[in-house]
A = this chain, B = another copy of it.
Amino acid sequence: MKLEESKEKTKTVKENKEVCDMDGKKIVKLKKSLFISFLFIVFLFFKGYAQENKGGETKQPPPLTPEEMEIAKKIFFDRCAGCHGVTRRGATGPALLPENRTRLLGTEGLKVFITYGTPRGMPDWGRQGILSEKEIDILARFLQHEPPPPPELSLAEMKETWKVYVPPEKRPKEPQHKRNWQNFFGIVLRDVGKVAIVDGDTKELVNIVNTGFAVHILRASATGRYFYSIGRDGRVTLIDLWANPPDKVAEVKVCNDARSVDVSKYEGKGVNFKDKLSIVGCYWPPSFVILDGQTLEPLKIVSTSSYTYDTNEFLREARVASIVASHHDPLWVVNVKETGQIWLVDYSDIKNLKITMIEAERFLHDGGWDLSKRFFIVAANMRNKLAVVDTLTKKLVSLVEVGNKPHPGRGANIDHPKFGPIFCTGHLGDNTVQCIGTDPKKKPEYAWKVVVKVELPGEGGGNLFIKTHPNSPHLWVDRPLNPELSNKIFVLDKFKFEVKKEIEVPKEYAGARFVHLEYNKNGDEVWVSVWGRKDQPTAILVFDDKTLQLKHEIKGDWVITPTGHFNVYNTMKDIY
């Protein structure tokens, strides 16, 4: 019985591998880890056997001082909660509850996992030197105790963290510099909690802004004037690109753990919501928070704790995975990960807030608009599907089966000569790129069906982002979570889907991975992060999209752990 359990555990970990890694954890090389894992399974088997012969008594948790409890809570929140959930009930990683799991593994067993990781997802915190032996010991003991109740965060507490550095009335009425700010790039310097603003025309560093811890994404405001950044620690930063230099003008912490931010983009019918409101999606507390778009004053919190769409079980920890703003309506699309519900939030009157709760599929992750920006398409990564929502009728249109763990990022839209407009996704769990038709009126025979399925070279998935641009003939694909291919990007013809070029990380960045692709405003350059540890040489490489040749290397002491990088114009207009 115990052997089965440990097998099941291994299976669960495998299934969850790549999704965890999306949060940017260091990947474990398959080959090196397999042997350790094998040894550990043998260890578990004998441990379980011994346990069973002791009569299967429930173990008591090992002692933990109040100080150690505080240390462990912080480590768990920073390093583990993203995958295992802050209440440890499991999400993209397995549950870590005392009964039947952590107390069975015991301190020594847990230390092995934390130190060496698992082949398919759990990072090797000890081996990487991110956690010390002492910290791992504390964490292993902590995990055998019942999870402490995680902290709440009320509006009053948020307001204590709220700072307006430059109030709206003191901000300039026009750009204070001559730069082409619509072609600025915001580059996340993940492990130092900073965002670099780089001039897309000149490739010059314009400024470095202190932001929240491990910024997950940036979103350009509806006018493009501002960047909103969201840190994993729930800190939102508002960066004014018209200032000279561009710098932060406000910030506030509205979650203990967060992944998404967006802005109100709608203008029409006599109202203009552009840059008026902002929204943050929290992992913990499970909620979204509506803020003043100009000052970041938190205005309203809405809980996303709710029932799974299919089995109707209550999840306190139903997290906001991603958010996009509509261009056609005063609407945010809020993807509630674990419940499989897509919430359309009408922000036109936040005191009488309208939400349409659409039953879709689990676990909702990342997605984007179709070419017309009427349909929103999102990955349900545990069920290998794309969910399509019609934001006009506010209904689910289709669930389309694609490959193993689709991860579109925001996807890639192509106006195809045969299929009409199509939306493409890559996959975490296989080496395909798949595209679905998105025009039910003019191309009903292709709508919401897979019309393209192409295999990339090399085995395994590990893709996080694919990207194209209306002005480009190409589709770019990264593979940062594929241990064998993380140093490569693949450039495809966007109509024929043939691989035109494989590009490798230059030797000077050996050991680093390619991740995240972004076009410049004109759509004739592609910017790619070369992402490595803090002590590795890293850079942003700029490729000419016509010749597919390296055109420029953005590097320097300040380029530390660069991950996502966002072009103002393309982000503002949702061009992908």
> Residues of A with Cβ closer than 8 Å to B?
152, 154-156, 285, 287, 298, 300-303, 305-307, 311-314, 316, 349, 351-359, 394-396
A210 to B298, CA, bound (A): 51
Given contacts A154-B314, A301-B307, 14 further A-B contacts (CB under 8 A): A152-B313, A152-B314, A155-B311, A155-B312, A156-B312, A285-B314, A298-B312, A301-B314, A303-B303, A303-B305, A349-B395, A351-B359, A352-B359, A353-B357
A314 to B304, CA, bound (A): 11
Partner of A356, one of B155, B301, B354, B359: B354
CA distance A359 to B155 in the complex (A): 15
User: Known interface pairs A302-B306, A305-B303, A306-B302. Does A352 touch B311 (Cβ–Cβ under 8 Å)?
Assistant: no
| Contact status A354-B352, CB under 8 Å | no
Closest 6 interchain pairs by CB? A155-B312, A303-B306, A301-B312, A352-B395, A154-B313, A301-B307
Copies in the assembly, this chain: 2
Closest partner residue, chain B, to A355 (CB atom): B355
Give the nearest-CB partner of A153 in chain B: B314
Q: In the bound complex, what is the Cα–Cα distance between A306 and B288 (angstroms)?
A: 11
> Considering only CB atoms, which chain B residue lies closest to A354 in the complex?
B356
Interface of A is mostly: strand
Chain B hits for A285, CB < 8 A: 314
Q: Which residue of B lies closest to A356 (CB)?
A: B354
Q: How far is the CB of A259 from chain B (nearest CB, A)?
A: 19
- Which residues does chain B contribute within 8 Å of A396, judged by CB atoms? 351-352
Q: Report the minimum CB–CB distance from A396 to chain B (whole Å).
A: 6
The one of B155, B156, B305 that contacts A305, using a Cβ cutoff of 8 Å: B305
Which residue in chain B gives the minimum CB-CB distance to A152? B314
Q: How far is the CB of A329 from chain B (nearest CB, A)?
A: 14
Task: Pick from B302, B314, B357, B359: contact of A307, CB below 8 A.
Answer: B302
- Given A354-B356, A356-B352, A300-B312 contact (CB < 8 Å): yes
**Given that A354-B354, A357-B355, A358-B352 are known contacts, is A303 also in contact with B311, CB under 8 Å in the complex?**
no
In the complex, A555→B395 CA distance in Å? Answer: 54
Q: Cβ of A300: which chain B residues have Cβ within 8 Å of it?
A: 307, 312
Q: How far is the CB of A350 from chain B (nearest CB, A)?
A: 9
Chain B residues near A302: list those with CB within 8 A: 306-307, 357
A302 to B359, CA, bound (A): 12
User: Contact between B303 and A307 (Cβ–Cβ < 8 Å)?
Assistant: yes
Residues of B within 8 A of A395 (CB): 349, 351-352
Q: Write out the residue numbers on chain B whose beta carbons fall within 8 Å of the beta carbon of A155.
A: 311-313
Question: A394 contacts B354, CB within 8 Å?
Answer: yes
**Cβ contacts under 8 Å, A358 to chain B:** 351-352
- Show 10 residue pairs from A and B whose CB-CB distance is below 8 angstroms, ordered by the A residue: A154-B314, A155-B313, A287-B307, A287-B314, A300-B307, A302-B306, A352-B395, A352-B396, A354-B357, A355-B357
Bound-complex Cα distance A164 to B356 (A) = 32
Task: Contact check, B351 vs A354: say whether CB atoms are below 8 A apart.
Answer: no
> Is the Cβ of A311 less than 8 Å from the Cβ of B154?
yes
**Chain B residues with Cβ under 8 A from A313's Cβ?**
152, 154-155
**Residues in B whose Cβ lies below 8 Å from that of A352:** 356-359, 394-396
A394 to B396 alpha-carbon distance, docked (Å): 24
What is the CA–CA distance of A305 and B315 in the complex, to the nearest angstrom?
A: 11
B contact residues around A287 at 8 Å (CB): 307, 314
- Measured CA separation A352–B311 after assembly (Å): 16
